[in-house]
Amino acid sequence: MEQNPQKDDRGQIDSADLHIGPEYAVAERDVAELLTGRVVSGSSLWRDAWRRLLKNKLAVFGMVVVILVVLGSLIGPTVIQRTTGYAYDAIPKDASLLKSFPPFRGPDGRFSFAHPMGTDSAGRDILARVLSGGQISLMVALIATLVSLIIGVSYGAIAGYAGGRLDELMMRIVDVLYSLPYVIIVIVLLALLPAKTPTAQLAQLFFALGAVSWLTMARIVRGQIMSLKNQEFVLAARATGVSTPKIIFRHLVPNALGPVIVYATLTIPTVMLSEAFLSFLGLGVRSPRVSWGSLAAEGAQNLAVYPWQLIFPGLTMALMLFSLNFVGDGLRDALDPQARRD
Amino acid sequence: MSDDNGNLLSVRDLRVYFETEDGSVRAVDGISFDVKRGETLGIVGESGSGKSVANLSLMRLIPEPPGKIASGSISFDGRDVLRLSPSEIRALRGKRIAMIFQDPMTSLNPFMRVSKQLMEVTQLHLGHTKRQARAHAIAMLEHVGIPDAAERVDSYPHEFSGGMRQRVIIAMALSCQPELLIADEPTTALDVTIQAQILELIKQLKSETGASVILITHDLGVIAGMTDHVIVMYAGRVFEQAPTRELFERPGNPYTRGLLRSVPDPTEDEGTLYQIPGQPPDLAHLPPGCPFASRCERAEEVCQKEFPPFVQLTPSHQSLCHFANEVYAETGATR
């Protein structure tokens, strides 16, 4: 009845065929605890997943870069302003700084630490601009991801659990929204509600990106919930009188959290890219605020003469996007160790 | 009316249908039974005979659609379960009627600590605070024989063995002192030594709390050892109903007789084991006559054409068969 691990021709068990589910995986530390007689405390899937994530070098590299960029964006602009006096939006009166050639070279060709990424056409420090643009880019990405988590997860979970006609209706709405390109939504929004302040403009950007970012999440969660809802523990929970919302959000959603986390981490770079794209087209963040997209747009205008104006914002963004994707892929492998093997 | 005579639960003419593309499947087709206070009722039958569906519908846990309780009444402590509002039925579930499921490997939430799952029940039904619920959870785990309960309460289900998980499930089911415990094949997924322990545990807890128990199983040995009264189900109907002793000594239905004959007897070492020929019928396309007729060794022409009557053999013993009296007489004579 019970299937033995597959044996190869010589009748030996190939260790690669021995798949052990995450729930049965025993970490070395647990064994050590067992041997030394110490009580094994609730070792969860998350702890094992975290260990697997730390073994993935690319993911660790990604996490380090993400943390550095996030920290840099959060405190960098203030630090630069305090130490050098350059602010991202301050145009210096000193015209000699105007065209510095990075890295570490002033316009006179001598070594200078003043502007490691150079300045833009108006003489503003690009490092300060990149870091403060990071604030906006990260904020847009985080808010859109948060929207996708809150709306997408609840929407998908409800549709998946309810099933039948309600599910049908809810998912068709998703399909309709899916078919609208978000660029059009943004353009329509801008046309209908002309933003008077840069802040209002930013809010529109959040809204537009949030409106589309939850769709895939809803689909993923719905699929997960549909496969989970017929498991016996759900019936058992119903049999103890647990109400439907509690079953969905306390019993089912935590079971679907793995794919949700993975998709959320992969949503962040996607949204960042969308924001950059919109800003590049001039539909997103506008002056005096900056984002990586709007910096790239500015830089692209002067590409032939001052290439660093595009290279540095672009490099920073590319590095961040790579790193986030590495983290997302690493998380996926860590949370689903069986899928990793070919 | 029916609860006057000590009945905690009284089911009358319950019909549960499932709508499928193949037509309406009559999973439960007009069953009636009573459970007295403190009594253990056994329900036996082959897979697909409607045992589990019947019991899920007692708590209105049938998935609707495709399932539907087409008619009948379920009276629990004098109230019709089928007329309760959703919040009233939720208040019943887990508090006054509790259920133990077949597979302890899947009926606990793998992502929730055992403590949280146990606490959820009492916080919900007994209004416990977190601290009370936790203390209660530990006490319940100790009660069902889990060693180091205070330390193990925060474990995840996968850290328990199958038998231990079933104990956890029993602890959860009994944590509100239900009046009726429905155990749906509680030992099928466990190995024999653990089976005995779990059954003993259910027995012991039942005698402590005075709860009624409905024990669903296809293991006649379990029925013999645990129950006071037995229902034999086949094709969504009650084929025979009798006190346990009487049913084993003097079955009044060819199907029951066949079931009893297909139990291996370890004291006899010759020959092959008896087996009822054929398969249970397709519940979407039942023949007009007796659903067991095509497999029955005693079937005659009338069985194919007419639905059998529910014959009263003694005040507490009924059998659904055209020849119930004859079978009853035969089994009595052979003793």
Q: Does A37 touch chain B (CB under 8 A)?
A: no
Q: Nearest residue on chain B to A41, judged by CA atoms? A: B155
At residue A112, the pLDDT reads 62
Q: Is A222 part of any domain? A: yes
pLDDT tens string B243-280: 888 888 888 888 888 888 888 777 766 667 778 877 77
Residue that wins the pLDDT comparison between A54 and A118: A54
| Integer CA distances (angstroms), B58 to A245, B88, B310, in order | 22, 14, 23
CB pairs under 8 A between A and B: 80
In a domain, A159, yes or no: yes
B93 to A251: CB separation less than 8 angstroms, yes or no: no
Same domain for A26 and A143, yes or no, is no
Instruction: Give yes or no: residues A312 and A289 share one domain.
Output: yes
A61 falls within a domain:
yes
Is residue A51 in a domain? no
pLDDT of residue A172: 92
Question: B98 and A239 in contact by Cβ < 8 A?
Answer: yes
For residue A135, pLDDT beyond 70: yes
Q: What residues make up the domain containing A24? A: 1-42
Is residue A131, in this structure, part of any structural domain at all?
yes
- A124 and A11, same structural domain? no
A169 plus A114 within the same structural domain: yes
Mean pLDDT of chain A: 74
Name the nearest CA neighbour of A128 among A161, A193, A84.
A84
CA distance B170 to B168: 5
Same domain, A77 and A24: no
Count of C-beta atoms within a 10 Å radius of residue A207 = 16
Interface of A with B in 128-167 (CB under 8 A): 164
pLDDT at A110: 63
User: β-pairing, B180-184 with B310-314?
Assistant: unpaired
Report yes or no on A288 lying in a domain: yes
A195 and A305, same structural domain? yes
If asked whether residues A37 and A61 sit together in one domain, one would say no
Nearest CA in chain A to B169: A236
Q: Are strands B237-243 and B310-314 parallel, antiparallel or unpaired?
A: unpaired
Contacts of A242 in chain B (CB under 8 A): 90, 94, 120, 124
Which position has the token pair 């995986």?
Answer: A25
Quick one: A38 and A134 in the same domain?
A: no
List the single residue in B98, B101, B151 with the smallest CB-CB distance to A232. B101
CB A297 within 8 A of CB A87: no
Q: Is the Cβ of A29 closer than 8 Å to some Cβ of chain B?
A: no
Question: Quick one: pLDDT at residue A123?
Answer: 66
What are A211-263's pLDDT values in tens digits?
778 888 889 889 888 888 888 888 888 888 888 888 888 888 888 888 888 88
Q: Same domain, yes or no, for A285 and A316?
A: yes
Q: Which residues of A105-141 are buried (b: 16+ CB within 10 A; e: fewer)?
A: ebeeeeebeebebbbbeebbbbbbbbbbbbbbbbebb
Q: Tokens in use for A115?
A: 């502007």
Alpha carbon distances (Å) from B328 to B245, B253, B301, B312, B315: 14, 7, 20, 11, 14
pLDDT greater than 70 at residue A338:
no
- Residue B274, number of CB atoms within 10 A of its CB: 14
> Is A50 contained in some domain?
no
Regions of chain B short of the pLDDT cut 50: 1-3
* ipTM for the complex shown: 0.81
Asked whether the beta carbons of residue A238 and residue B120 sit closer than 8 angstroms, the reply is no
Indicate if A328 and A270 belong to the same structural domain: yes
Average pLDDT over every residue of A167-179:
88
Nearest chain A residue (CA) to B154? A42
Half-sphere exposure of A3 (CA within 13 A, CB side): 6
* pLDDT-derived band at A4, boundaries 50, 70, 90: very low
Interface test with B, best of A38, A161, A224, A240 (most B CBs within 10 A): A240
Tally of structural domains, chain A: 2
Q: Which residues contact B264 (CB under 8 A, 6 or more apart)?
A: B273
Distance CA B227, CA B241 (A): 12
If asked whether residues A122 and A81 sit together in one domain, one would say: yes
Enter the DSSP assignment of B78.
T
pLDDT of residue B1: 43
Q: Tell me, what CATH number does A254's domain have?
A: 1.10.3720.10
Q: Tell me the pLDDT of chain B averaged across its residues.
A: 82
Please give the backbone phi and psi of residue A128, each rounded to the nearest 5 degrees, phi first. -60, -40
Q: Is residue A70 part of a domain?
A: yes
Do both A320 and A253 map to the same domain? yes
Query: Cα angle vertex B15, ends B9, B16, to 5°?
Result: 105
What does the pLDDT read at residue A203? 77
Could you say which DSSP state residue B109 is in?
-
- Statement: the pTM of the whole predicted model exceeds 0.90: no
Nearest by CB: B156 against A44, A231, A237: A44
* 8 A C-beta contact, residue B52 and residue B216: yes
* pLDDT tens string A288-323: 778 888 887 777 777 777 777 778 788 888 888 888
